[in-house]
Amino acid sequence: MGPRPSREAYRLPSAGWEDLTYPPIAPTIDKAKSSYLIRRTSILIVNATSNLPARRIPDLFLGVFLEEINHGVSGGLWAELVSNRGFEAGNATSNIHPWSIIGDNSSIYVSTDLTSCFERNKVALQMQVLCGDTKPCPSSGVGISNPGFWGMNIEKEKKYEIIFHAKALAISNLEISFTGAGDVKLASTSVTVGKTTNWTQFVNTLEAKETYHNASLQITTTTKGVYWLDQVSAMPVETHKGHGFRNELFQMVAELKPKFLRFPGGTFVEGIKLSNAVKWKDTVGPWEERPGHLNDIWKYWTDDGFGYFEGLQLAEDLDALPIWVFNAGISLKEQVNSSDLSPYVQDALDGIEFARGSSSSKWGSVRAAMGHPKPFDLRYVAIGNEDCERKNYPGMPAFVSEYAVRKKDAGMGSLLAAVAEAAFLIGLEKNSDIVEMVCYAPLFLNINDKRWIPDAIVFDSYQHYGTPSYWVQKFFTESSGAVFLPTTLKTDSPNSLIASAINLKGSKDNNNYIRIKVVNFGITPQNLKISINGLISSVKQLGSTKTVLTSSNLMDENSFLEPMKVVPRQSSLENAAAEMNVILPPYSVTSVDLLT
């Protein structure tokens, strides 16, 4: 896109023209004092002639890529509140992190053993409560506490389902509670654990009395005895369709209207060691039976509550086609010999049967038992992460399975990065006869685990926002399956302007629109004269709009304090016509939607 200006030039001129109809991004400049702003004129000719052969953009052009990175799934999209719910983290029987002990050494002793009733998760937690007989326990009890993923978001009048398994040497009571600052109980209940060597499952629904965004889950008692606990889960009752997806994060993804979902990775699929690669069979079936594994590439444990089944369910809920990425016998540091690949091949075939097979098939029956007797619409798989078979299959269409501007130009997600990505996407749109699919990555970032930045959606326990890179994708949500219109751009700024045009049916009103997208990557405003040839019907002013993404500084970002600082601004287009002028602000993405 040509040389980039120095950072001293990053402060952009403010808007101050009558035809900039979106909300001004800075105080208006006195036009008499703005003569230094050179308004260049470029011409965009759009050929909408109906007798030309139509070139449709592929139906699956824009999708999303979900990877377990940045705690984007565990502690993010997947609404489980408890971190390390089975005390299995790191495959070390003494590793209960991030659980902590409530009480001193004279009151309670906590350890782990291998007495769990779950065959693939043998670790259980043992609490020896030493107080409560001759030495009274503290009135608030002793026990264990889990902070979740940097705090649990507990909201007033919301309900939460608590499931755990327990046994004890004597009949006694346990109190289960969400606690806030100063150990204030936000919600609590008491359960009686019988004297038994058999494990019992306890299911309780708690309704919060207050809101606290950094709560913890506590299991406490004031009764002396020996207790065992395992597989402790806490989930909001309200998740998307009851499928376990955090509502507001799901909605952010849904609003991108993705046509496909690539999952679950990424190098997450491979691992640094093959022993830590994703093994899909360990991620299906009852959640208590899933052993979890060390996400060694991104340095944290995952319980695999979001597994293969949940990925397929997420794609279905998004009305997107799943693209399942499976391990091909390769990790970052290890590789299986070709002669030893047969188990990997069979594992992939079994995975396909799990998704597509009838409910009477071996693996299809496992899916059916999980509540989905109907096969999932799995049509595509990816053999390994970002591997290629061009030598054996030349001429394949391209799948741009990961793109983003990174490092110093991107920060945590800057306007500069977003405008550059928009130009890139327009280029892919113009070459969509070769490029069939594209997705941004990474999709999610928990602000407490910045392994990879920038990302499309940033969140913590209770708030979220889209980066400018997220909002840029919304300019392309209608591109999949649209008709590409040939364009000719006449400009003396070829290194800073790029444009494309499509013919589409509006998803909200089913009306016909011509959408013209233009990126101005220059430091000065541009006057763009648009000329549309071959229109059968005239352009309607009522219903035509202009949408602009820009800001007052190239490095502007969104944040929890200013989540809407850099977002598209839509306005009516009073001069909408087949021949019209549009002002393109510096460093901006502009979409002109003409109702025809």
pLDDT digits (tens, 9 = 90+) for 285-333: 999 999 999 999 999 999 999 999 999 999 999 999 999 999 999 999 9
C-alpha 456/C-alpha 139 separation (Å) is 46
- The pLDDT of residue 238 is 98
Region class of 255: left (phi > 0), else alpha (psi between -120 and 50), else beta: alpha
Q: What does residue 351 show for φ and ψ, rounded to 5 degrees?
A: -65, -40
Here the tokens at position 554 are 């190239």
Q: Tell me the mean pLDDT in the region 219-231.
A: 96
Here the tokens at position 231 are 């597989």
What number of helices (H) and strands (E) belong to the chain? Answer: 7, 33
- How much of the chain, in percent, has pLDDT values that exceed 70? 92
- What does the CA dihedral 474, 479, 484, 485 come to, rounded to 10 degrees? -30
User: In which band, very low, low, confident or very high, does the pLDDT at 39 lie, cut at 50, 70 and 90?
Assistant: low
| 88 DSSP assignment | -
Q: Residue holding tokens 């306007």? A: 415
C-alpha 101/C-alpha 133 separation (Å) is 20
Q: Residue holding tokens 């058999």? A: 198
Here the tokens at position 583 are 């002002």
Helix (H, G, I), strand (E, B) or coil at 568: coil
DSSP element (H, E) containing 207? strand 196-207
| 123 DSSP assignment | -
Residue 33 has pLDDT above 80, yes or no: no
Q: Residue holding tokens 């003494």? A: 94
- The pLDDT of residue 594 is 94
Domains present along the chain, CATH in parentheses = 7-56+481-595 (2.60.40.1180), 62-78+241-473 (3.20.20.80), 89-236 (2.60.120.260)
- The pLDDT of residue 26 is 35
C-alpha 387/C-alpha 390 separation (Å) is 10
User: In which band, very low, low, confident or very high, does the pLDDT at 117 lie, cut at 50, 70 and 90?
Assistant: very high
Q: Tell me the mean pLDDT in the region 220-235.
A: 96
| 340 DSSP assignment | G
C-alpha 307/C-alpha 208 separation (Å) is 29
Q: Tell me the mean pLDDT in the region 129-133.
A: 91
User: In which band, very low, low, confident or very high, does the pLDDT at 197 lie, cut at 50, 70 and 90?
Assistant: confident
C-alpha 450/C-alpha 457 separation (Å) is 12
Neighbour count for residue 316 (Cβ, 10 Å):
18
C-alpha 238/C-alpha 158 separation (Å) is 8
Give 322: exposed, middle or buried? Use CB within 10 Å, 0-12, 13-18, 19+.
Answer: buried
Here the tokens at position 292 are 């979890």
Residue 343 has pLDDT above 80, yes or no: yes
Contact 424, 472 (CB under 8 A): no
C-alpha 344/C-alpha 80 separation (Å) is 30
Query: Among 21-30, 34-43, 97-106, 109-118, which stretch is predicted with the lowest mean pLDDT?
Result: 21-30
- The pLDDT of residue 523 is 92
Contact 568, 545 (CB under 8 A): no
Mean model confidence pLDDT for the chain: 91
Antiparallel, parallel or unpaired: β 579-584 and 526-533: antiparallel
Residue 386 has pLDDT above 60, yes or no: yes
Residue whose C-alpha is closest to residue 461's, from 239, 298, 249: 249
- The pLDDT of residue 264 is 97
Contact 64, 439 (CB under 8 A): yes
Maximum Cα–Cα distance across the chain: 94
Here the tokens at position 36 are 């230094």
| Per-residue pLDDT tens over the stretch 514-566 | 999 999 999 999 999 999 998 878 889 889 999 999 999 999 999 999 999 99
Give pTM, 2 decimals. 0.91
Residue 34 has pLDDT above 90, yes or no: no
Helix (H, G, I), strand (E, B) or coil at 36: coil
Give 293: exposed, middle or buried? Use CB within 10 Å, 0-12, 13-18, 19+.
Answer: buried
- The pLDDT of residue 91 is 56
Cβ neighbors of 242 (< 8 A, separation 6 or more) are none
Listing from the earlier edge strand, what are the strands of the sheet with 464-466? 444-446, 457-459, 464-466
| Per-residue pLDDT tens over the stretch 354-377 | 999 999 999 999 999 999 999 999
Residue whose C-alpha is closest to residue 262's, from 440, 503, 37: 440
Q: Residue holding tokens 């007033």? A: 156
Q: Tell me the mean pLDDT in the region 57-86.
A: 98
| Per-residue pLDDT tens over the stretch 73-105 | 999 999 999 999 999 997 544 589 999 999 999
The amino acid at 298: W
Three-point CA angle 167, 168, 173, nearest 5°: 95
| Per-residue pLDDT tens over the stretch 454-471 | 999 999 999 999 999 999
- How much of the chain, in percent, has pLDDT values that exceed 90? 82
User: In which band, very low, low, confident or very high, does the pLDDT at 14 lie, cut at 50, 70 and 90?
Assistant: very low
